[in-house]
Structures are given as C-alpha cells and as structure tokens.
C-alpha cells in the first residue's frame, strides 16, 4: 500500500529533477495535483533540509544540495561531487592532511565527503561520512553559517551554544564576530573546539551566490606550523575558486 505523504515527497523530487529552470509552488501544485495548503509545509521542510533550493527572485524551486546524500538524482550533482572529490584528493596530496566536505543540515554539519592521507592518522577525527556535528563549533559549520544573520543562528540554537570541549565558542557575540571575518576573508577556522589537539580551516562553496557546502583541512596542532597553516588556507582558497567557477556555470 502506497504511503501518500512519502509518495508526494518523491514525486516532488522527481518533478524537480527533470526541470531545468525550476518550478514555482503553483506549478508544482498543478503538476502533481497537490493543494497548495498541503504542499507549502512539505516544501518548507525540504527547503530547511536542503533537499530543494528556492530562487528568491523568481520564487522557483529546484533540486537542493542534500540530493548528493541520496544519490545522483540530478546528473550535474554527480559530476560536481566527482569534481570536488578530485580536488580534495589533490589537496591531501599537497598537504598530507585530512580534507572533508560538509553541507548544512538544519543546525548541524552533515559530512558528505572525506579524503584521508595515506599515512596513519595521529589523531582520530570524530567525523565521518554521514556524521552530524553542531555547526557552530566546526570550521566547516562556520563557513556554512557565514551568510546567516545572528538572529537566524540564535533561532537555530534556542538553548544556546553548548561546549563540546573547553575551547568551544559558546558566546553568540564571539561567533558573530568570527562569521563576519569569514565573510570578509572566505576562510573559517576553529582550534580544538570539537576535537582536542586539532585545528581546522574551511571555505564555503557557492553556486549562483548561495552557499551550497564547504570543504576543510584538519591539522593536528603539533603539526600546525605557520607555514602549514598558510599552505592550508592557500589550497582551500584555490579549491574554492575552481569549484565556485563550475557551480556558477
């Protein structure tokens, strides 16, 4: 027996996956014969979870970045993920440290790609593909949150910012200053906020002016020399430039 709410979600994704220009709420409603009053909360939930994206100027919905996590329902997504993974492998080859990609899933970072160096890791990361970690205390998360206002971030964390380690930023004002710097430099960072003895740098990835993901480099603090930190930032900014240029096509 078909579960109607699930069927509607799948039909929406199928419809958007074959639409090259996106569809408005009315167009989706008419195409799938779903009342707009029923459709709207479904679309809002899918929007919040990044399964669809909304172009504000045209009010048209299209497939979102979270489709990466459920398979290549949209061929270009598969191409982009392969392209990003190749760039991540190149980063690891140049710095010999772990590189990861994440997307924003509600108030968490959802890890979707990871490349480790060939050598044994000195510090075991708590993240892995499919893992979710609060965004506010990771470099990836700060990159992903950088386009949000502090009011939006407070709404994401109504109970405040909770400490994971003694170094976790728990003050919204400090976080706001850090995110302002990310917008200026395109580089986010954190030092031992999630994992002791680990420093991370990250950059947001954009498509048509919207942040769709982020990639990071994690470095054990005892290897985080000024030279290596500078190299990490340079590699990430170069990768961002390449990925953003493809995403804007």
C-beta neighbour count of 125 within 10 angstroms: 17
pLDDT for residue 142 = 98
Domain extent at residue 196: 76-247
Among 21, 39, 63, identify where a domain stops.
63
Q: Would you state the structure tokens that stand for residue 161, as one six-digit string? A: 């910012």
* Global confidence as pTM: 0.71
With respect to residue 70, please indicate whether it lies within any of the assigned structural domains.
no
Q: Please state, in angstroms and rounded to a whole number, the distance separating the CA atoms of residues 13 and 53.
A: 11
Place of tokens 């190149």: 90
pLDDT for residue 67 = 62
Largest Cα span, the chain: 61
Same domain, 135 and 236: yes
Q: Cβ(236)–Cβ(91) under 8 Å?
A: yes
With respect to residue 71, please indicate whether it lies within any of the assigned structural domains.
no
95 three-class SS: helix
**5: enclosing H helix or E strand:** helix 4-17
Domain total of the chain: 2
pLDDT for residue 118 = 81
CA angle 216, 186, 127 (to 5 degrees): 20
pLDDT for residue 72 = 47
Same domain, 85 and 21: no
Q: How many helices (H) and strands (E) does the chain have?
A: 8, 9
DSSP label at residue 72 = -
Half-sphere exposure of 101 (CA within 13 A, CB side): 27
Q: How far is CA 38 from CA 5, 11, 45, 50, 117, in A?
A: 10, 14, 12, 19, 48
With respect to residue 68, please indicate whether it lies within any of the assigned structural domains.
no
Q: Please state, in angstroms and rounded to a whole number, the distance separating the CA atoms of residues 110 and 73.
A: 19
Q: Cβ(132)–Cβ(105) under 8 Å?
A: yes
pLDDT for residue 233 = 98
Place of tokens 């109970």: 159
Nearest Cα residue to 107 out of 53, 161, 65: 161
With respect to residue 69, please indicate whether it lies within any of the assigned structural domains.
no
Same domain, 138 and 243: yes
Cα 76 from chain centroid (whole Å): 17
Q: Would you state the structure tokens that stand for residue 60, as one six-digit string? A: 């048209």
Residues of the chain with pLDDT under 70: 1-2, 20, 67-78, 120-124, 126, 247-249
With respect to residue 56, please indicate whether it lies within any of the assigned structural domains.
yes
Same domain, 175 and 234: yes
**70: enclosing H helix or E strand:** none
Same domain, 88 and 19: no
Q: Please state, in angstroms and rounded to a whole number, the distance separating the CA atoms of residues 181 and 187.
A: 8
Same domain, 83 and 58: no
């Amino acid at each position: 027996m078909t579960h109607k709410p699930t069927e509607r979600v799948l039909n929406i994704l199928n419809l958007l996956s074959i639409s090259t220009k996106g569809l408005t709420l009315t167009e989706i409603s008419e195409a799938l014969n779903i009342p707009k009053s029923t459709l709207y909360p479904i679309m809002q939930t899918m929007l919040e979870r990044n399964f669809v994206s909304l172009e504000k100027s045209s009010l048209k919905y299209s497939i979102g970045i979270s489709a990466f996590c459920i398979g290549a329902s949209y061929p270009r997504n598969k191409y982009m993920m392969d392209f990003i993974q190749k760039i991540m492998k190149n980063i690891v080859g140049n710095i010999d440290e772990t590189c990861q990609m994440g997307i924003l899933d509600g108030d968490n970072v959802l890890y979707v790609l990871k490349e480790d160096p060939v050598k044994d890791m000195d510090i075991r990361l708590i993240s892995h593909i499919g893992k979710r970690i609060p965004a506010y205390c990771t470099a990836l998360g700060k990159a992903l949150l950088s386009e949000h206002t502090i009011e939006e971030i407070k709404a994401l964390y109504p109970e405040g910012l909770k400490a994971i380690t003694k170094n976790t930023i728990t003050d919204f004002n400090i976080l706001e200053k850090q995110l302002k710097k990310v917008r200026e430099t395109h580089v986010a960072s954190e030092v031992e906020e999630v994992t002791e003895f680990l420093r991370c740098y990250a950059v947001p990835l954009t498509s048509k002016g919207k942040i769709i993901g982020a990639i990071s480099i994690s470095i054990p603090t005892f290897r985080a020399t000024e030279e290596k930190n500078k190299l990490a930032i340079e590699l990430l900014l170069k990768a961002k430039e390449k990925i953003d240029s493809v995403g804007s096509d």
